[in-house]
Amino acid sequence: MKRFEGRVALVTGGGSGIGRAACLAFAREGARVVIDDIRVEGGEETLRLIKEAGGEAVFVKADVSKAAEVEAMVQKAIDAYGRLDCACNNAGIGEPLKRVHKTSEDNWDRVMATNLKGVYLCMKAEIPHMLKQGKGAIVNTASLAGLHGLVGQTAYVASKHGVVGLTKSAAIEYATTGVRINCICPGVIATPLITHQLTDKPHMEKVYVGMEPIGRLGKPEEIAAAMLWLCSDEASFCVGSAFSVDGGEVAG
Ligand SMILES: NC(=O)c1ccc[n+]([C@@H]2O[C@H](COP(=O)([O-])OP(=O)(O)OC[C@H]3O[C@@H](n4cnc5c(N)ncnc54)[C@H](O)[C@@H]3O)[C@@H](O)[C@H]2O)c1
């Protein structure tokens, strides 16, 4: 029997990078997958990859920063598969590298809306279904930027520190209900979020690799593997952790 057979997993930002790797891993392990993304093209490509490999999934287009869209997304998961066992609230965006006094209020609002409010709205919509089942696992995607500061990325860093705090508080609120909530803190991972920057600023690759004592960037699949473990019954005593998967960055 596969590890997630009979279970339903929702992944936001499933159309690219870490989210896509998580969707593919859940499907390989037998879960029925609800792929969310704001970009239809990416979400449909993940759906195609899952179906091609013989898995089961649906794609739902929803912007995680909009409450009505998030509620409709979770309802579509319930309508399609009747339950929700695992939720990876993973959708997130970066920001241009600028010092605080050069940044705009619009940038702050945009980053917070997706990275922090989006995680809050998703948990708010997901938790009632998990409480009804008496069981569920949520993994929010924070970042190493949720554990330490980074020059030129204040809104991103603040949003990810927020995800860590939100995760810890929600985790202890529901700790006795069977709903486990954790977050994951990836180091620098080779996804479009990072590789887009490298096209304009190739020198940044050295900087990013230099942040990782292991001497290379992480792969999306290495984060997905940890997300699945945190969602699995093997992680039954993990509650409210900010789990670093970072090639040694936070230890360095
Ligand atoms: N790549 C890294 O180095 C790294 C490191 C730490 C944390 N993270 C976090 O991991 C998560 C995934 O990032 P990634 O690296 O895979 O990036 P990515 O850009 O490859 O994927 C992010 C996906 O989220 C989607 N998305 C963006 N805004 C959305 C919204 N409002 N609603 C729904 N979907 C939306 C995008 O369309 C995209 O498909 C993010 O939360 C990011 O902050 C990434």
239 to 35, 59, 173: CA distances (angstroms): 25, 29, 10
Told to judge if 81 belongs to the known catalytic residues of this protein, a careful annotator would answer no
Tell me how far the alpha carbon of residue 51 is from its chain's centroid. 22
Q: Provide the pLDDT for residue 198.
A: 83
Tell me the CATH class for 8-189+222-244: alpha beta
Q: Provide the pLDDT for residue 138.
A: 99
Evaluate: CB of 93 within 6 angstroms of ligand 1.
yes
Q: Provide the pLDDT for residue 199.
A: 80
Q: Provide the pLDDT for residue 196.
A: 82
Distance 19 CA to ligand 1 centre (A): 7
Pocket test for ligand 1, best of 11, 16, 71, 95 (most atoms within 8 A of CB): 16
64 Cα nearest atom in ligand 1: 32
DSSP letter, residue 101 = G
Q: Which residue has 């004592």 as its token pair? A: 213
Residues in the chain, pLDDT under 70: none
Evaluate: CB of 14 within 6 angstroms of ligand 1.
no
Q: Provide the pLDDT for residue 252.
A: 84
Sort 36 into a burial class: Cβ within 10 Å, 0-12 / 13-18 / 19+.
buried
Q: Provide the pLDDT for residue 203.
A: 87
Q: Provide the pLDDT for residue 107.
A: 98
Q: How wide is the angle at C-alpha 35 spanned by C-alphas 142 and 30, nearest 5°? A: 100
The predicted-structure confidence for 121-165, as pLDDT tens digits, reads as follows 999 999 999 999 999 999 999 999 999 999 999 999 999 999 999
The single residue of 81, 120, 156, 174 carrying the catalytic annotation is 156
Evaluate: CB of 154 within 6 angstroms of ligand 1.
no
